[in-house]
Amino acid sequence: MDLQDIIIAPATPPGEGGVAIIRLSGQGCVYLAQKFFYPSRSFEYPISHTLYHGYLKNAQGIQVDEVMFVFMAGPRSFTAEDVVEIHCHGGQQIVSMVLHVFLQAGARLARPGEFSYRAFVNGRIDLTQAEAIADLIHARSEKSHSLALSQLDGQLSQSLYSHKQSIKDSLCLIEAWIDFPEEELPAEDICSIRNGIAAAVRQLETMICSYNTGRLYSEGVSLLLLGKPNVGKSSLMNALLGEERAIVTDIEGTTRDLLEEGLVINGLPVRLVDTAGIRESCDPIEREGVMRARKRIDSSDLILLLIDGSRAVDAEDFSALNICSSSKYITVVTKSDLTEKIDLPVEFSEKVVHVSSRKHEGLDRLREQIYLSLIADSSRDENSILLTSQRHKVAATSAVNCLKRFIKALDSSLSLEFLATDLREALDALGGITGETTTDDVLDDIFSRFCIGK
């Protein structure tokens, strides 16, 4: 991407609103912007980070809108370049006219993520922080938001920095001896190198494990409601959502397609999926619905297996159990407001929650159980890092593999060149996370997933 261009894009989402912000970035953007901005109190050159009131006119001198104008001199700006923002009224037509004025005058429409890319290339943020901006925008729960915010703060980068530093220290020691092939590494150096690298491996492995949890916050959790017809799946979906989303009747086979809704359960962004009741049916539509439910089992993080508490357990309950027993599931005994007629056989999971969707009872316990089943490691330190990106996990894993290979080589006294290579590869892998060694195609891929204007 060409860093010389002045780029422009709306920084606010499309649609109507009180205000829309159009952002320009790049060398000379302030001169370009001043050509079309007519301040109500004239000035020669704008003071950085100060709002000016005025009018935006096009090249023909025709007024486009009454606007506020702010100049942010680099490097104290989002991109670390000179940035100008035009705050106009929030209408589609106005925004496109403002864009048109500047595009005509030589600015170029920014590509998706190009502002963040420039902030990265100009060294204002590293790659994990750029990715955190996207996560922050897409966060669907408070916890996802706070995880993204701490990554934006540089928590992950700092921790990686300390690992990289200890690997670099070991590499320095080894490289110092490479030039003396007839000499052996002193025993105390070997010992301190080994300890340092082993500690880095342990900490990186903890970080890698945290992805199991972190992923749930960044990608969200898929929760599947399963059970025979009329156990109360759709009613439970509505109760958890707090709205009458799914159709509820006492007619078996009411729900036929998959029904999905997003909600937050104890800080976890969840996609709740209601399904057709599991049973043998002659109705082709219902059969298709049952097949769709079965297909979703493997891609679900957790299944709620519903059993009607007001009736005896029957063969249909067992066939529902059969199809989810190899996945993670919680048994939910429904209709607890009715007289309980159920005697739950031992085959069902020991995690049992009783609920009444009608009376809204047991729902908090169910939410808590869902949370505990998914967040296995509840003993984790609240402040320790949670990896939320698969890209980071893959890179950290490859670094750990290099470091383990290094320890093995060290123990079997392989040549110093070999040892140095393993350490350099580990550094490269970690550098890929923060962006120092990331290849251009990976960078393109990351930034292209940003929205325009970010």
Query: Contact positions toward ligand GDP, by CB under 6 A?
Result: 227, 229-235, 248-250, 254-255, 277, 334-335, 337-338, 356-358
**In the structure encoding, which two tokens stand for residue 361, read together?**
């009872």
CA distance 71 to 50: 7
Residue 255 is a binding residue for Mg ion (CB under 5 A): yes
The distance of closest approach from Cβ of residue 337 to ligand GDP in the complex, given in angstroms and rounded to an integer, is 5
Number of residues that bind Mg ion (CB under 5 A): 3
Nearer to ligand GDP, 218 or 230 (CB): 230
Stretch of 2-10, 108-116, 231-239, 427-435 lying at the interface with Mg ion (CB under 5 A) = 231-239
Q: Return the SS3 of 436.
A: coil
Q: Where are the alpha helices (DSSP H) in 313-439?
A: 315-324, 363-374, 390-411, 416-434
Residues 292-351 that bind Mg ion (CB under 5 A): none
**What phi and psi values does residue 166 have, to the nearest 5 degrees?**
-70, -30
Nearer to ligand GDP, 337 or 428 (CB): 337
- Interacting residue with Mg ion among 155, 234, 300, 438 (CB under 5 A): 234
Residue 235 is a binding residue for Mg ion (CB under 5 A): no
CA distance 369 to 352: 9
The distance of closest approach from Cβ of residue 306 to ligand GDP in the complex, given in angstroms and rounded to an integer, is 6
The distance of closest approach from Cβ of residue 332 to ligand GDP in the complex, given in angstroms and rounded to an integer, is 11
Q: Return the SS3 of 332.
A: strand
Strand 51-57: give its sheet, edge to edge.
Answer: 37-39, 51-57, 63-72, 83-90, 17-25, 7-10, 108-109
CA distance 114 to 31: 21
Nearer to ligand GDP, 54 or 309 (CB): 309
The distance of closest approach from Cβ of residue 334 to ligand GDP in the complex, given in angstroms and rounded to an integer, is 6
189 DSSP 8-state letter: H
The distance of closest approach from Cβ of residue 52 to ligand GDP in the complex, given in angstroms and rounded to an integer, is 59
Residue 386 near which of ligand GDP, Mg ion, none (CB within 5-8 Å, type-dependent):
none
Dihedral Cα 15, 17, 19, 20, nearest 10 deg: -10
Residue 357 near which of Mg ion, ligand GDP, none (CB within 5-8 Å, type-dependent):
ligand GDP
Nearer to Mg ion, 87 or 233 (CB): 233
CA distance 276 to 73: 59
Nearer to Mg ion, 131 or 308 (CB): 308
The distance of closest approach from Cβ of residue 259 to Mg ion in the complex, given in angstroms and rounded to an integer, is 8
CA distance 17 to 48: 26
Nearer to ligand GDP, 8 or 324 (CB): 324
Nearer to ligand GDP, 249 or 390 (CB): 249
Nearer to Mg ion, 116 or 238 (CB): 238
Stretch of 124-132, 252-260, 354-362, 393-401 lying at the interface with Mg ion (CB under 5 A) = 252-260
Nearer to ligand GDP, 218 or 275 (CB): 275
The distance of closest approach from Cβ of residue 227 to ligand GDP in the complex, given in angstroms and rounded to an integer, is 6
The distance of closest approach from Cβ of residue 355 to Mg ion in the complex, given in angstroms and rounded to an integer, is 15
Confirm if 152 and 136 have CB atoms less than 8 A apart: yes
The distance of closest approach from Cβ of residue 299 to ligand GDP in the complex, given in angstroms and rounded to an integer, is 21
Nearer to ligand GDP, 24 or 355 (CB): 355
The distance of closest approach from Cβ of residue 94 to ligand GDP in the complex, given in angstroms and rounded to an integer, is 48
Residue 281 is a binding residue for Mg ion (CB under 5 A): no
Residue 250 near which of Mg ion, ligand GDP, none (CB within 5-8 Å, type-dependent):
ligand GDP
Q: Which residue, chain included where needed, has tokens 């025993």?
A: 187
| Torsion sign, CA atoms 145, 151, 152, 153 | positive
- Candidates 153, 136, 121; CA nearest to 25 is 121
CA distance 392 to 397: 8
Nearer to ligand GDP, 202 or 365 (CB): 365
Residue 22 near which of ligand GDP, Mg ion, none (CB within 5-8 Å, type-dependent):
none
384 DSSP 8-state letter: S
The distance of closest approach from Cβ of residue 302 to Mg ion in the complex, given in angstroms and rounded to an integer, is 19
- Candidates 233, 250, 258, 165; CA nearest to 203 is 165
Residue 300 near which of ligand GDP, Mg ion, none (CB within 5-8 Å, type-dependent):
none
123-146 exposure pattern, b = at least 16 Cβ within 10 A, e = fewer? ebbbbbbbbbbbbbeebbbebbbe
Residue 232 near which of ligand GDP, Mg ion, none (CB within 5-8 Å, type-dependent):
ligand GDP
User: What residues form DSSP beta bridges with 142?
Assistant: none
435: region left, alpha or beta (phi > 0 left; psi from -120 to 50 alpha)? left
Residues that bind Mg ion (CB under 5 A): 233-234, 255
